Structure 1
């Protein structure tokens, strides 16, 4: 009886866990992407192009550039190249959590701030 319970518990554990999420971060180190977020109840879209060590963002008609420092294949830090104020001087830590064929889900936060946010970026052809 105990043997059957253990076997059943093992089967449920294996079935519930399933395969780990896909995480092919190197597929997203470079390219053009779009990201939509809600700010003050309004959806805002950012288009960004990432190169090996620079990211160029287009947001509401403004273009901004940030340097990229890769921590590993799935984590990097963005630092604004030409900050216009103290807020823009703060670096942003980004961690890719899962990947799909043409998108990835990530977690990000301002370094020094404990609040973390999630988003999904979609590759633009």
Structure 2
């Protein structure tokens, strides 16, 4: 009985906590993102419109087609891939939002390894 009561209280407290996800606010705009992989921070800037994203990373510009699965998940397909890796589609999922940032995870479609990052809306 003691364990049942403790479990019930814990369940009640955790079920009331829901992370905010206002993903529609981040489908269009200009952003800055940072991703840390094995201690190295990778930064990029990008502008996303309804069906295209243009990203600048290491002074290189890359464009991708954008296809929203739902308000919080999107698939990116590189428009002019220059390598086999660029031919793979990328799946991105928005996990948490604030008024000007979102935390996301992404991976190549069909792969289990995921990376996380934060994007800040500039405009």
Q: Sort the TM-score into its range (normalised by shorter chain).
A: 0.7 to 0.9
Q: 1:110 aligns with which of 95, 108, 115?
A: 108
Cα RMSD after superposing both structures: 2.0
Alignment correspondent of 1:25: 23
| Greater RCO (CA < 8 Å, at least 6 residues apart) | 2
Equivalence for 1:50:
48
1:59-78 equivalent positions in 2, closer than 5 A: 59-78=57-76
**Cα deviation code 1:47-99 (max 9, x no counterpart):** 01110100000001111100001111111100000111111111000111111
User: How far apart are 1:18 and its partner, in Å?
Assistant: 3.7
Q: Report the 3-state secondary structure (helix = DSSP H, G, I; strand = E; otherwise coil) of the residue aligned with 2:45.
A: strand
Residue 95 in structure 1 maps to residue 80 in structure 2 = no
* Counterpart-to-counterpart distance in 2, 1:40 and 1:9: 37
Larger radius of gyration between Structure 1 and Structure 2: 1
* Contact kept in structure 1, 2:52 and 2:65, CA below 8 Å: yes
For residues 77 and 5 of structure 2, what CA distance do their matches in structure 1 show? 51
d(CA) in 2 for partners of 1:99 and 1:12?
25
Q: Is the deviation greater in 12-21 or in 99-108?
A: 12-21
For structure 1, the 5+ residue unaligned runs are none
**Partner SS state of residue 13, structure 2:** helix
2:78 to 77, 80, 83: 80
| Equivalent residues, number | 123
